[in-house]
Amino acid sequence: MNIIELVQKAKKTNPKLKAIPYPKAAALVRSVLNQLKQEIDATEEGVVKVPLLGRFKINLVEKERDGEKIIKKQISFRPVAPKE
């Protein structure tokens, strides 16, 4: 799903968003996603919680490759449980 598709779906489900032009809405979505990426990148270990979306759990994992220990960042995502 790309940014324009996200904006189109949001505009269909929320009538208040119909007044926002596509370029501005797309710029806002792009900015929000970029901020989320920066927050995840800046977190060495821990959890980044995003309301209505879920949690990104970040761990440093030590692996051995060719006899050398390599530390890699492992990111897992757990979505918010749907409300019934």
**Dihedral (CA of 83, 25, 33, 9) sign:** positive
Q: Report pLDDT for 5.
A: 93
Q: What is the pLDDT of residue 84?
A: 73
The token duo for 80 is 């918010």
Q: What is the pLDDT of residue 48?
A: 96
Give me the mean pLDDT over the 15-32 stretch: 92
pLDDT digits (tens, 9 = 90+) for 27-83: 999 999 999 999 999 999 999 999 999 999 999 999 888 888 999 999 999 999 888
